[in-house]
Amino acid sequence: MSLTAERRETPFRRGRRLRRTPALRRLFQETRLSPASLLLPVFVDARLRDPEPIPSLAGHMRWPVSRIGEVAGQAASAGIGGLLVFGLPAEKDDRGEGAFDPLGPVPSALRALRQRDDGLVIVADVCLCEYSAHGHCGVLRADGSVDNDETLPLLAEAAVAYARAGADVVAPSDMMDGRVAAIRADLDRAGLAETAVLSYSAKFASAYYGPFRDAADCAPSFGDRTTYQMDPPNAREALAELVADVEEGADAVMVKPAGLYLDVVARAREKLDVPIAAYQVSGEYAAIAAAADRGLMDRRGAALESLTGIARAGADVIVTYFALDAAAWLAER
């Protein structure tokens, strides 16, 4: 149908002109995804000799230290920015002291990765939940509550152990108050001033962590984490947590989960000048993967759209289980 004479005389914006071809759309993109901005979570298990598939995270493995170079090689070949390393120890205790064992899974993996020198940024997650028999992120009092201040020295000791083993960045995920200041102070005292701190500053008590807790064997044996992780309705409080961690010395901060908290990512981007990371968590990955497996959506399209949304909100770095796939898909564009 042709336009009426009256309508032809009324100017209107033809936005479709810049969407007409794939080349035009690529040229005028406002948000650009790059493999270099992606971090791939990796699980290192001290009990294994061979990689073991993770049923709740299809396509992902628990890796023995002796084979960690394989996933590093894949990531480097794909152009991914780096790895976020989690550890599963051979034994656990009530205080999670295996977190700072220099011969534990994370320090051992970090030394192996540093010897390879694949050009990846190596980030070590810092928390006690994988190492504690009770699965909570800190030391417990007699009444079962988490003792914030008693936990801080253990987190700082773990961060120092990881930095000494070769971590470029340590990433406290525990949500204890004051842990960034404690970690920064101990790193500096240990002569590790060059090690950066990426703080999980706004980590919400989310229902979307289920597959991760299975993968890392760190589900709480009682209760939940709502007293130290953030309450999902609270965006202003999240911003206060982000600001506080920067003031304590964090070099970069993280919002977790990503997809349900894009408003927090956007507010952080407006407020802060430090790099913002966002974690597309295991439940977000599993939901897309499961829907795609049932033919309800296109895996590639849904994954890239979700990552684009996170970047558009203001995230400079995205932690995602889609990292290897996304890098391959982006290379095909």
271 catalytically annotated: no
246 to 80, 159, 184, 198, 275: CA distances (angstroms): 26, 17, 11, 10, 10
Query: 3-class SS at 302?
Result: helix
| Among the listed residues 177, 199, 205, 216, the one whose alpha carbon sits nearest the alpha carbon of residue 274 | 199
Within 10 A of 56 (CB to CB), how many other CB atoms are there? Answer: 16
DSSP β-ladder status, 121-126 and 169-172: parallel
Q: Where are the beta strands (DSSP E) in 35-181?
A: 38-45, 52-53, 61-63, 82-88, 121-126, 169-172
307 to 42, 201, 276, 303, 315: CA distances (angstroms): 19, 20, 14, 6, 10
Amino acid identity, position 5 = A
Amino acid identity, residue 118? Answer: D
Longest dimension (CA), the chain: 82
Task: Catalytic residue, from 60, 92, 256, 267: name it.
Answer: 256
Q: Which of 95, 134, 136, 203 is the catalytic position?
A: 203
Catalytic positions, written as ranges: 203, 256
